[in-house]
Amino acid sequence: MSMPEPLRANILVAGDSLAAWMGALAFSRWRPELAVAVAPYHGEDSPIADPVVIARPEFRKLMAQLGLTEADLVSECDGTFLLATRHAGWTGEAAVFHQALGTFGAPANGAAFHHYYQQMRAAGQAPSYGTFSLATSMALAGKFIHPAANPRALESAFDYRIAIDAAKLRDLAKHRALAAGVTQFSTKVMGTAWSDGRIRHLLLDGEQSAEVDFYLDCTGTARGLTGAAGWTGIQALPYRRETGSVETGDGNLSLATVTASPDRWTRELALRTRRVTETFSCLEDGLAHFGYLAVPWRGNCVALGRAACDLPALHAPAFSLLTRELGLLGALLPADPATARVEAREYNRRALTAFGHMRDAQALFEAASARTQGKPSPDLSDNLARKIEQFTSRGRLVMYDDEILSDSEWIACLLGLGFTPECVSPLAMAASVDAVCDNYLRFAKRIRQAVERMPDQQTYIQHMLAEYAKETGPDAV
């Protein structure tokens, strides 16, 4: 019996996940001359792990490269503009704070705002920290506009994320990828033949095989191509996810809420047509499977998405990391990926850095609630330990290369979680407390007034969709 000829292409993407189709679309745009194929993986239990993904500003560049627009995301993927997350309960029932992009307050005399905020707090004259953030104030009022282009305008001092229906984005990416000439194999990938650190071929259903130049493992936690070798587990509380979804377009679109209690946390946010609630409850006896691949690009194969790094759900890490991974791959994209050793080394270094940053952002919350609620404390990386130590000592924020969270998010979270600086910048001490309070309370008033003038997000989006329909024709929406 003779074996059928192997299926051929230049790039084979294994999986039916969001990562798989984003990866396929990306390669079809970056390298239109290459033949890109996508094949499902037999052991991929749930290709869409998250009901909602959240795109950070970093996604914009990739979005442009993929030929997608914000209007596509809003219209086709139920997208909304997320301005802030309200966190409650991480360090006690009453503890509430807001995480948002863009500036909080404004620096003065060479010292950042949070130094002055500490003084206001000490003087008993401090409203919540979020009062000084335009994004937070807009979010609480359910408003939205795009940031002003003029860097001197108050309305330029914020940024936003986009909440997207993950299944719909996968479908959109798939639709666009197929239209761009990506081939979809119907036979499933059953196994992988590695030798000398490279994939020789894939075994497909029905005794078929596929032999290509470069492989993307987008099979999620099945890690179908890369396998368990090199998987580095991390210590984190295992969680079980329960998802609820309410069909309503009503309510505040601009704000997400995260409510924590000692054994669970719940995130609620609005897509355009429904509200989605996800609860993550601790599994005391569960198996911790979280971790990352120590070498995500090995030989002629790169693992993307959950296949490369799987973390707990706080800060919606999956899509941020996928964005980072594809951004890196695009930036390093070699003419012949299969032989690119220097690029692979650089990719691995930077992907691992990104995984570490994301994990640190989560571990900060776990450490804070461990302090107050007697939960097991996570291991702190040196980077995070230094960040906490520097901040609590002098209010100085250490930012590392390629961070994912912005500096203002870190500060809001550190302060909100009770990591209070013991003392503040000497530059901030020169001004009188009365003058400081006076200045910043006026600043907060300007924010309130600016927010009052803005439209609510429902109205803003309706307008945007009407424009979109005009541009793309009546069938598009």
Partner 1 sequence: MLSDQTLGTILIVGGGTAGWMTAAALSRLAQNGHTKIRLVESDAIATVGIGEATIPPIVGFNQILGIEENDFLAKTQATIKLGIVFDGWLQPGEAYIHPFGEYGLDINAVKFYQFWLKYRESQKLPYIDQFCLPAVAAWSNKFLKPGNDPRSVLSTLSYAYHFDATLYAAYLRRLAEARGVVRSEGKVVDVALRSEDGFIESVRLESGEVIEADLFVDCTGFRGLLIEGALKTGFEDWSHWLPSNSAVVAPSERVAALPPYTRATARDAGWQWRIPLQHRTSHGHVYCNSFVDDQTAQDTLMAGLDASATDEPRYLRFTTGRRKKFWNRNCVAIGLSGGFMEPLESTSIHLIQAGISKLIALMPDMSFNPTERDEYNRLTGIQFEQIRDFLILHYTANQREGAFWDYVRNMGLPASLEEKIALFRSKGRIFRFQDELFGEANWLSVLLGQGIIPRTWDPLVDTMDLAAVLGDMRQIYQAIQKTAEGMPSHQDYITRYCPAPPV
Pick one of 16, 50, 343, 360: the residue that binds partner 1 (CB under 8 A).
343
* Sole window of 130-138, 251-259, 296-304, 342-350 interacting with partner 1 (rule: CB under 8 A): 342-350
Cα(189)–Cα(9) distance, integer angstroms: 15
Q: Does 213 bind partner 1 (CB under 8 A)?
A: no
Q: Pick the binder of partner 1 from 96, 145, 154, 332 (CB under 8 A).
A: 332
Site size toward partner 1, by CB under 8 A: 45
5 makes contact with partner 1 (CB under 8 A): no
Q: How far apart are the first and last CA of the chain?
A: 52
Q: Which is nearer to partner 1, 179 or 399 (CB)?
A: 399
**Among residues 153, 179, 283, 331, which is the contact residue for partner 1, using CB under 8 A?**
331
Q: Per rule CB under 8 A, is residue 408 in the interface with partner 1? A: no
CB neighbourhood size of 226 (10 A): 25
| Least distance to partner 1, CB of residue 257, Å | 32
Q: Is 147 an interacting residue with respect to partner 1 (CB under 8 A)?
A: no
- Establish if 35 lies at the interface with partner 1 (CB under 8 A): no
Convert 54-84 to b/e letters by CB count within 10 Å (16 or more is b): bbbeebeebbeebebebbbbbbbbbbbbbbb
Task: Spell out the residues 6+ positions from residue 61 whose beta carbon is closer than 8 angstroms to its own.
Answer: 327
Q: Quote the radius of gyration of the chain (alpha carbons, Å).
A: 24
C-alpha dist (Å) from residue 401 to 2, 321, 347, 350: 54, 15, 14, 9
The nearer residue to partner 1, 28 or 209, going by C-beta atoms, is 28
Cβ proximity to partner 1, 121 vs 371, nearer residue? 121
Shortest CB 27 distance to partner 1, Å: 11
Q: 413-452 mask for partner 1 (x: CB under 8 A)?
A: ----------xxxxx-xx--x-------------------
The span from the CA of 226 to the CA of 349, in Å, is 18
Sole residue written with tokens 């008993």 = 124
The HSE-up count of residue 67 (CA atoms within 13 Å, CB side) is 14
Q: Which residues contact 7 (CB under 8 A, 6 or more apart)?
A: 37, 185, 204, 208, 209, 210, 211
Q: Which stretch binds partner 1 (CB under 8 A): 26-34, 41-49, 227-235, 268-276?
A: 26-34
Report the 10 Å Cβ neighbour count for 469. 15
User: Given the complex with partner 1, which of 211 and 389 has the nearer CB atom?
Assistant: 389
Alpha-carbon distance 417 to 153, whole Å? 31
When asked if residue 477 is in the footprint of partner 1 (CB under 8 A), the reply is no
Nearest one of 134, 50, 133, 139 to 86, comparing CA atoms: 139
Scanning 170-178, 327-335, 373-381, 465-473 for contacts with partner 1 by CB under 8 A, the matching segment is: 327-335
Q: Which is nearer to partner 1, 45 or 336 (CB)?
A: 336
Angle at 445 between CA 270 and CA 160, to 5 degrees: 30
- Of 302, 340, 384, 412, which lies in the binding site for partner 1, with binding defined by CB under 8 A? 340
Name the residues that contact partner 1, by CB under 8 A. Answer: 29-33, 61, 64-65, 109-110, 119, 122, 151, 330-335, 340, 342-343, 345-346, 350, 386, 389-390, 393-394, 396, 398-403, 423-427, 429-430, 433
